[in-house]
Structure 1
């Protein structure tokens, strides 16, 4: 498949042929779902924690005498059945991460890229080089090209002025090519790749 290469102003500066084994797959929802779940579970902090009976700073004195109260025979007030007592079977800090084979993760990224090509939402630009870090100017440029909800991927390093100008624009994410991932691709409407990012991706899957 051949796509036009443009500059940030939308003027054509050439074309490029995309590799079918990376950008020409029929997107599979099941693989994308597995990858999204893998990423989201891995990102969970897992720091939820409650205090158990042994961690409660409460009196350990027997609350009522053993017999004659007419009620149950209770001891330590830190027991879970009392108000202010420890929690029974509460959550503990743990990792929510699941395993996913490396080949499946690589395949999921290919399917995510292919889904953007199929929907016509993949765009190639020659460079993101910007003379000034002006958010207002960049917002106008992106608005004119209808990139109001976009993931923009540069090469190994992102142009410093462009990154500064874009970081305050809502629903626009800018990442170096090594940070590209399935969740960010799917949650943004447009996917914009520079020539350097495209070459790095094709080399990665070669």
Structure 2
């Protein structure tokens, strides 16, 4: 059970955190694997070095095969020559890793449970911003008692709140549909509203929609 606060930090009620999302034993191994895969997927994979066949020049044999007293050489673009190609250098590739959906969901639940165990999951009734204003957003976070980095979970209808929080360097905003283990773990506090607080009921309601898309 956690208190539901308003934007001024005053108690506006209470809500029971779903044990499925906020009460499990965090699986550290799964979180590590999912976060590693998520960071790997962000890599561009565009690094590229030139092989001896791609390096410019080197078409003519530098000197005769025999009689010079020097080692045999067929090209000045050999990897052992200065200005030559690179042997076994990096080439463009994809770093993505296949991660089962069950592992991704377990990692998210583990990360949320870890933050909840530390008392760093906060719930507000709603963000009552009449117009985007960074000053009001900063005052709201101060009233909630947050410190360090804060992950603010919003929905599509929280446009004013998103524009209010986005200029604060210590705040990361994320849509509830995109909530993931990595962003939860890199932030100290996670702030939900009552509308986007994860529950097992909302998960079951979304499951048929996912099946229809397949």
- Check if 1:163 corresponds to 2:162: yes
**What is the SS of the residue equivalent to 1:111?**
helix
Whether contact under 8 Å (2:21, 2:199) holds in the other structure is no
1:92 aligns with 2:91: yes
Structure 1 segment 38-117 matched on structure 2, within 5 A = 38-117=37-116
Deviation of 1:130 after TM superposition, in Å, equals: 1.1
Tell me the residue number matched to 1:150: 150
Conserved 8 A contact 1:177-1:200: no
1:199 Cα deviation (Å)? 5.1
- Using the TM superposition, give the Cα deviation of residue 128 of structure 1 relative to its aligned residue in structure 2, in angstroms: 2.1
Cα RMSD for the two superposed structures: 1.8
- Cα deviation 1:27-49 (Å, max 9, x = unaligned): 12112111111211122211111
- For structure 1, which runs of at least 5 residues remain unmatched after alignment? none
Partner of 1:185: 184
Contact persistence 1:128–1:154 (CA under 8 A): no
Provide the rounded CA distance (Å) in 2 between the counterparts of 1:138 and 1:28. 34
User: How far has the Cα of 1:200 moved from its partner?
Assistant: 6.5
Task: Give the TM-score of the pair, scaled to structure 2.
Answer: 0.88
Query: Unaligned stretches of 5+ in structure 2?
Result: 206-214
- 65-74 or 135-144, which deviates more: 135-144
Q: 1:16 to 1:165 in 2, by over 3 A?
A: same
TM-score (norm 1): 0.91
Structure 1, residues 109-128: CA drift from partner, whole Å, max 9, x if none? 11111111101000001112
Alignment match, 2:120: 121
Q: How many residues are paired up?
A: 204
